[in-house]
Amino acid sequence: MSAVDTAPFASPASGGVAETLPAHLLGHAAATGDRIAMRKKHLGLWRSYTWDEYAERAAAVGIGLRALGVEPGDRVAIHANNRPAWMIADMGVQGIGAIAVGVYPTSPTAEVEYVLSHSGSVVLIAEDEEQVDKVLAARSDLPDLRTVVVKDPRGVDLSDDWIMTMDELEALGAGQRQDFGSAVAALDPSQCAIIVYTSGTTGPPKGAMLSHDNLMAAARGSGTEFEVGPDQEVLSYLPLCHIAERLISGVNAVTQGYVVNFGESTETFAQDLAEVQPTFFVGVPRVWEKFMALIQIKMGDAGWIKRKNYDLWMGVGGRLARKRWRGEKLRGVNGLLYFLGWVFLFRSLRRKLGLSRVRGALSGAAPVSPQVLEYFWAMGIPIREVYGQTENTAQGTIIPADDVRIGMVGKAMTGAEVILADDGEILTRGPGTFLGYFRNPEATAETVDADGWLHTGDVGEFDDDGFLRITDRKKDIIITAGGKNISPSEIENRLKTSPYVREAVVIGDQRKYLTALIGIELDTVGDWATRRRIAFTTYGDLSAKPEVKELVSEWVEKVNTEMAQVETIKGFELLPKELDQEDGEVTATQKVKRRAIETEFSELIEGMYR
């Protein structure tokens, strides 16, 4: 480890060096260089990366990129699944003042091309042959792209001058940590550090520019609110291009200094989670719903003793959770009950899921059904909803740890202001507010007003204690022909709590009544059908079975009984295919593109109103 030049970073705040993520990285390398920063599962073994290695390689990437002619302010795209190289590249790019642009690994060629050309990226760091092939297909339309760096060159034609390996890039900049240190020291924290392309349920993705200051504000805000410290272990599994995982695996990890674990692949998520047993876990609603479906299906197959045990303690846990939401400590009889529940159910159940050590858990990025949150609270997982978006670096609101209210998204986070506009739209302001949309000043002007208020596009309301409740996306709110305002996401999320329902899209804008398009969960419904000896071939075939329609119909009826009269679903159709990113039906984060769905399945929809 080079002793030179890391000293000022040991305390960036006092040493005159501006606070940035690369500065923090160098600080950790100087102070606790031999500690573990990341782990990656490779061929069955969890390999460790120390802070020193992390900094050394980030420096090599940064200086290597500079040798390729990357200037401060240039965009460098990263197109890979979550792995240490992603973070190393991110830090290297930010360290030399260039701008890191993440591309979703699941993006089809057209989307990759759009992001690369819109951002004008000069270098692309791609994971493997699969991602390189996508960019090769769009090569002629990407005049700005000078070099493609590939991490895993298996199968890639390296005789092409356009392509080099990550090892070669790191060799270019090896051993020049001092230069990297000077570059980091010279960073202007008000400049753009990363561009995050929002997934865009309408129209093409927009590139939100976040500065170093934004990221530091997020580190400060979420570091306090999430209650994360240096003794945490997390598993990095959500796409790193999304602000949520970037905050957990990047921003907070590098500022707080906890360990980030990267699993073997996206397919092995469940196994990786069970091995890592993280102490802090962030899930999107889809992940929590999937866990819930998994438990319910497996419980259905369990023997009666195990089922009774589960029913008993989940019931007890549910009652105890209500006390914990009010901030009560579980003492005396309640403490004993929780302990017994822990011995008989929660401990083993959470261990099976991989959440046995979780001290804090968050749900964010999309609205979640209250039933889902209650379910996890019942087994003792203190899951809190957090509300934010890329444009405010996810610095919106969060449920306070000592005053949990299910169905709300909580109070403004430290440093952020949250108010409502006259029409009910939620506005936020604070150090997390982004610099603007890249190459799109019109959209920027529409989003941030003259007073610095960010228009979130969400509609909500405050209760008397200042807790925010989100109604829905402003443009998603359904106004029925009868003039009633209805929030579809609430109904949709309630529908999605069934293990058999994966997608639900409520329809009814300018119509007499509500209907829904429902997508079944192939695994669970397939399992259900197999047990009933219903033969099926594909998703479409299974979806078309009258028995399956009957199964979903029972569930819809049940949900209807909980809804107000105008909110009941009068008819539904099952989607004949799985929604897919390639077909433009969902975004990379699996959010449904409502307009696209309504056009694609217009015949199905019209059929329900005939």
Partner 1 sequence: MAALPLRSVPAGGRPSRQLVLDYRDDLRIFPDRWARFGLVVLAFLYIWLPTQEVSDAGLRTLSTIAIVAIGAIGLNLLTGYTGQVSLGHAFFVGVGSYSAAYLGAAQEWPFLLYMPAAILLGVFLGAVIGPFALRLRGHYLVIVTLGLVFLGMHVFRNWTSVTGGNRGTQIRGADMSIGPLDFSGLELFGSTFTREQSMFFLVWALLALAALLAKNLVRSRMGRAMQAVRDRDLSAEIIGVDLARTKVGAFAISSGFAACAGVLSGLQIRFASPDDFDLFLSIEYVAIVIIGGAGTIFGAILGAFFVIGVEEFISHYSRSEWLGPVVRTGPGDSGFFSVGELNAVLFGGFIVVFLLFEPRGLAALWLRAKAWFLTWPFSY
Residues that bind partner 1 (CB under 8 A): 10-14, 19, 24, 27-28, 31-32, 35-37, 39, 44-46, 48, 51, 216, 219-220, 223, 230-233, 255-259, 274-277, 279, 298-299, 301-303, 306, 309-310, 345, 348-349, 352, 357
Min CB(554)–partner 1 separation in Å: 25
Residue with tokens 């914990």: 324
Min CB(351)–partner 1 separation in Å: 9
Min CB(302)–partner 1 separation in Å: 4
In the bound state with partner 1, the residue whose beta carbon lies nearer, of 298 and 326, is 298
Which of 119, 131, 33, 133 lies closest to 86, judged by CA? 131
Min CB(282)–partner 1 separation in Å: 16
Min CB(345)–partner 1 separation in Å: 5
Min CB(12)–partner 1 separation in Å: 7
**39 membership: H or E segment, kind and range:** strand 36-42
C-alpha distances in Å from residue 386, one per residue of 61, 268, 365, 394: 34, 27, 8, 8
Please state, in angstroms and rounded to a whole number, the distance separating the CA atoms of residues 502 and 300: 19
C-alpha distances in Å from residue 536, one per residue of 217, 531, 539, 547: 52, 12, 8, 12
Please state, in angstroms and rounded to a whole number, the distance separating the CA atoms of residues 459 and 468: 10
Min CB(343)–partner 1 separation in Å: 11
In the bound state with partner 1, the residue whose beta carbon lies nearer, of 35 and 484, is 35
In the bound state with partner 1, the residue whose beta carbon lies nearer, of 45 and 564, is 45
DSSP string, 263-322: -S-GGGHHHHHHHH--SEEEE-HHHHHHHHHHHHHHHHHS-HHHHHHHHHHHHHHHHHHH
In the bound state with partner 1, the residue whose beta carbon lies nearer, of 293 and 556, is 293
In the bound state with partner 1, the residue whose beta carbon lies nearer, of 216 and 282, is 216
Quick check: 189 and 210 in contact, CB under 8 A?
A: no
Bridge partners of 102, per DSSP, are 78
In the bound state with partner 1, the residue whose beta carbon lies nearer, of 27 and 153, is 27
Min CB(348)–partner 1 separation in Å: 5
Please state, in angstroms and rounded to a whole number, the distance separating the CA atoms of residues 123 and 100: 10
DSSP string, 127-194: -SHHHHHHHHHTGGG-TT--EEEESS-TT--TTSTTEEEHHHHHHHTTT-HHHHHHHHHT--TTSEEE
In the bound state with partner 1, the residue whose beta carbon lies nearer, of 318 and 584, is 318
Min CB(177)–partner 1 separation in Å: 19
In the bound state with partner 1, the residue whose beta carbon lies nearer, of 168 and 417, is 417
* Cα angle: 215, vertex 218, 221; to 5 degrees: 155
Min CB(455)–partner 1 separation in Å: 26
Query: Mind spelling out the 3-state secondary structure of 187-217?
Result: CCCCCEEEEEEECCCCCCCEEEEEEHHHHHH
435 phi/psi in degrees, rounded to 5: -80, -25
Residue with tokens 């160098």: 26
Min CB(56)–partner 1 separation in Å: 17
The region that residue 479 occupies, defined by phi over 0 for left and psi between -120 and 50 for alpha, beta otherwise, is: beta
In the bound state with partner 1, the residue whose beta carbon lies nearer, of 111 and 272, is 272
DSSP string, 408-455: --BEEPTT-EEEE-TTSEEEEESTT---EETT-HHHHHHHB-TTS-EE
Min CB(582)–partner 1 separation in Å: 34
C-alpha distances in Å from residue 173, one per residue of 203, 523, 546: 40, 48, 63
Which of 277, 291, 78 lies closest to 196, judged by CA? 78
Min CB(521)–partner 1 separation in Å: 18
**380 membership: H or E segment, kind and range:** none
In the bound state with partner 1, the residue whose beta carbon lies nearer, of 113 and 213, is 213
In the bound state with partner 1, the residue whose beta carbon lies nearer, of 196 and 216, is 216
Residue 508 makes CB contacts below 8 A (sequence gap 6+) with 478, 480, 486, 488, 514, 515
In the bound state with partner 1, the residue whose beta carbon lies nearer, of 105 and 223, is 223
18 phi/psi in degrees, rounded to 5: -65, 145
In the bound state with partner 1, the residue whose beta carbon lies nearer, of 35 and 549, is 35
